């Protein structure tokens, strides 16, 4: 059974009001002016990566498809718009039957991207496309930020598993999306049960300091946990004295104790001491899990430590200092009239201050060097060069309003692993630097 189809309480019945008011007022004006039905092309891209980042990670595409399907103006929503006098009667009538009937193309979820990459392209009438701007950006900006942080952390972890445990550090619904994005970026498990229920992500969890403090003695707490969860459980050993706790943990659970968790102190030093103590007591198979405000830099600093897994919370769900990707949703082409056969005209805002963009419906391809390593992100309009025809990145997601591409989350996760591995080695460096691939623009003779 696919729990994603059940309509769970971590979802909402309608995404229609996950929008900004000006999208509805633009719709009203366009309907009145007779321009609402002009065929239009909108694209999602970012002009720059967060400072110092080498690549971005696209995440949230699957959630975008759900949001588009659930973008419906039911009677309650229409009543709210009517009572607030947000739009007029003809616009309310148009919204009552709203169903997105256009096409959506995009980078496959889990793929990496760079400045200017058209990670999503939405085509249809101006009216039906303009309404989707805010909900699409809210999903992609959040999820891609989390996935990028997760990717950096999983790279720094060097194959050691990562546990997502940031639910208590963000909004309850954002926590579910963050767990999903973290899984795309390389995390192995989550502590958030709603994420496990909604997306099938493996869940983990044992006990907090409160459980130890509940008991008169630490030994009693360990005994209660082992009796309940078995010898393979993870015992938290930094409530009082770490060395004493490790000794007690092995005495209670035996050398087959699953793991100990360290949540404070000098993690590098403590991990070495705990490993030595565990080995001396015969618990050579007992793993060491570390938590405590970790980010990719702290994880990298523990590369030489005898650590078996990391738990990450705050820094992950806040994008490790970059909680948004600054993606934008821009009209890049539109028809000259409402005639379905009218040709598309490239359009773009003329601006200074780093907000320039290139008009026209775009394709994107990744050029490889002789060794099969990516060397450039090529974005263009018009005809795709023959040497890049089999390297195109955009895939069809929605055709005529119907979702045609849905993928299991594990497929998305594996794709990201492959995409990151195909970048130059400097992509995984944590030191500040420019995007690892340059973006090259090829402007054809048409945006149609």
What would the pLDDT profile of 57-107 be if each residue is shown by its tens digit? 999 999 999 999 999 999 999 999 999 999 999 999 999 999 999 999 999
Q: Using CA atoms, how far apart are residues 448 and 433, in angstroms rounded to an integer?
A: 36
| pLDDT score recorded for residue 447 | 47
Intervals of CATH 3.20.140.10 along the chain: 3-131+326-442
Intervals of CATH 3.20.20.70 along the chain: 171-318
CATH of 171-318, one of 3.20.20.70, 3.90.70.10, 3.30.70.600, 3.40.50.300: 3.20.20.70
Backbone angles phi and psi of 35, in degrees to 5: -105, 0
| pLDDT score recorded for residue 358 | 86
Which of 169, 164, 175, 148 has its CA nearest to residue 319? 148
Overall residue count recorded for the chain in this entry: 448
Find the range with the poorest average confidence among 294-303, 356-365, 403-412: 356-365
Q: Using CA atoms, how far apart are residues 82 and 416, in angstroms rounded to an integer?
A: 45
pTM: 0.93
| pLDDT score recorded for residue 132 | 98
| SS3 call for 209 | helix
Q: What is the residue-wise DSSP string for 413-443?
A: HHHHHHHHHTS-GGGG--S----SS-EEEE-
Report, in this order, helix, strand and coil percent for the chain, each rounded to 5: 40, 20, 45
CATH class of 3-131+326-442: alpha beta
What would the pLDDT profile of 303-337 be if each residue is shown by its tens digit? 999 999 999 999 999 999 999 999 999 999 999 99
């Amino acid at each position: 059974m696919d729990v994603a189809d059940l309509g769970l309480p971590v979802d909402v019945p309608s995404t229609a009001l996950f929008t900004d008011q000006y999208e509805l007022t633009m719709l009203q004006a366009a309907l009145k002016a007779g321009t609402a039905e002009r065929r239009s092309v909108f694209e999602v891209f970012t002009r720059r990566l967060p400072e110092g980042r080498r690549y971005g990670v696209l995440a949230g595409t699957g959630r975008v498809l759900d949001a588009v399907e659930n973008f419906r103006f039911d009677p309650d929503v229409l009543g709210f718009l009517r009572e607030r006098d947000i739009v007029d009667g003809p616009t309310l009538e148009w919204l009552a039957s709203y169903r997105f009937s256009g096409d959506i193309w995009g980078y496959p979820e889990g793929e990496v991207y760079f400045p200017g990459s058209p990670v999503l392209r939405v085509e249809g009438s101006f009216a039906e496309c303009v309404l989707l701007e805010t909900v699409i950006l809210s999903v992609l900006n959040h999820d891609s930020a989390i996935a990028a942080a997760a990717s950096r952390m999983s790279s720094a972890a060097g194959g050691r598993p990562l546990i997502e445990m940031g639910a208590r550090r963000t909004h309850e619904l954002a926590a579910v999306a963050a767990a999903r994005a973290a899984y795309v970026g390389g995390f192995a498990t989550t502590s958030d049960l709603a994420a496990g229920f909604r997306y099938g992500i493996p869940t983990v969890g044992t006990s907090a300091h409160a459980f130890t403090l509940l008991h008169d003695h630490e030994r009693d707490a360990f005994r209660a946990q082992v009796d309940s969860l078995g010898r393979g459980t993870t015992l938290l050993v930094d409530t009082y004295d770490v060395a004493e706790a490790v000794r007690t943990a092995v005495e209670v659970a035996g050398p087959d104790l699953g793991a100990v968790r360290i949540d404070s102190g000098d993690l590098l030093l403590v991990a070495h001491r705990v490993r030595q103590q565990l080995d001396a007591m015969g618990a050579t198979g007992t793993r060491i899990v570390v938590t405590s405000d970790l980010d990719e830099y702290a994880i990298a600093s523990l590369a030489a430590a005898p650590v078996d897994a990391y738990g990450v919370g705050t820094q992950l769900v806040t994008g490790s200092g970059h909680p948004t990707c600054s993606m934008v949703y821009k009209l890049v082409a539109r028809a000259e009239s409402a005639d379905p056969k009218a040709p598309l005209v490239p359009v773009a805002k003329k601006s200074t201050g780093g907000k320039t963009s290139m008009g026209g419906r775009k394709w994107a391809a990744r050029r490889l060097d002789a060794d099969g390593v990516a060397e450039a992100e090529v974005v263009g309009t018009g005809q795709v060069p023959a040497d890049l025809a089999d390297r195109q990145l955009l895939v069809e997601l929605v055709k005529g309003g119907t979702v045609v591409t849905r993928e299991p989350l594990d497929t998305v996760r594996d794709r990201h692993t492959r995409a990151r591995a195909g970048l130059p080695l400097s992509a995984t460096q944590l030191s500040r630097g420019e995007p690892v691939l340059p973006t090259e623009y090829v402007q054809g003779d048409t945006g149609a």
